[in-house]
Chain A
Amino acid sequence: SAVISQKPSRDICQRGTSLTIQCQVDSQVTMMFWYRQQPGQSLTLIATANQGSEATYESGFVIDKFPISRPNLTFSTLTVSNMSPEDSSIYLCSVEIGEGYTEAFFGQGTRLTVV
């Protein structure tokens, strides 16, 4: 299994500013994923973060808006840039720990409110 810690757990930010969310895993993982859950909605994959290479973004998400770093096998950050109220969501980090595991592990999420 894996224990995932996300920071901050919640934040209220002014529009036009940026917030960086951290995801720390207690073991080395091959791939890390960032999801967004808008209020009352389902989860949508933003991007896949691979160590040592550029993140791979899903349709509708761009690097300028959601830059991602993956400096090592246990850590990743997601930045929400130039925020607007529409960015108010829960952002979740998820990890893959290789073959043979039985579940996809999620962090507890970061609740972002943009005012």
Chain B
Amino acid sequence: AQKVTQAQTEISVVEKEDVTLDCVYETRDTTYYLFWYKQPPSGELVFLIRRNSFDEQNEISGRYSWNFQKSTSSFNFTITASQVVDSAVYFCALSPLRAAGNKLTFGGGTRVLVKP
């Protein structure tokens, strides 16, 4: 069985602060995908990143960065210099590789509130 845990239910920061969202996962699969999604108040799911389990390189995209550590089964997400528009719920998700990434197991989500 697969499980994704996002221990932080809500994080509140002041604009321009950095914020790190934790994600810990459990799976018996040796190969899998990890995802991060953003869900703004409008409700749609916005794809942020997909990471293959055999690629442990950290990734940076603008103000976003991801730290994947297979040894600790963690895939953490950092927003640098946060902005009010970053306020949303962020979900970490896991999928077995054989399913090509769509049969997702989601974490409980972390609500990020960025105050001006």
Contact = CB atoms under 8 A, between A and B. Distances in A.
Interface in A26-53: 31, 33, 35, 41-45, 48
A73 to B, nearest CB: 15
Given A42-B107, A103-B50, A104-B35, A96 B100 contact: yes
Interface residues of B, number: 19
Interface string B96-116: 000111111111110000000
Contact of A99 (B43, B45, B100, B108): B100
Q: What size tier do the contact residues of chain A reach?
A: 20 to 34
B44 interface: yes
A60 interface: no
A43 to B, nearest CB: 5
A45 B44 contact: no
Interface string B23-67: 000000000000100000001110100100000000000000000
A96 B44 contact: no
Given A42-B91, A42-B109, A43-B91, A103 B104 contact: no
A92 B108 contact: no
Given A96-B99, A106-B45, 9 more contacts: A33-B103, A42-B91, A43-B45, A45-B103, A101-B101, A103-B35, A103-B50, A104-B35, A109-B43
19 contacts: A31-B102, A33-B102, A35-B104, A41-B108, A42-B107, A42-B109, A44-B106, A48-B103, A90-B43, A94-B104, A96-B99, A96-B102, A104-B50, A104-B95, A104-B101, A106-B47, A108-B43, A108-B44, A111-B43
Interface of A: 31, 33, 35, 41-45, 48, 90, 92, 94-96, 98-99, 101-106, 108-109, 111
**Top 5 A-B pairs ranked by shortest CB distance?**
A103-B47, A96-B102, A106-B45, A42-B106, A43-B106
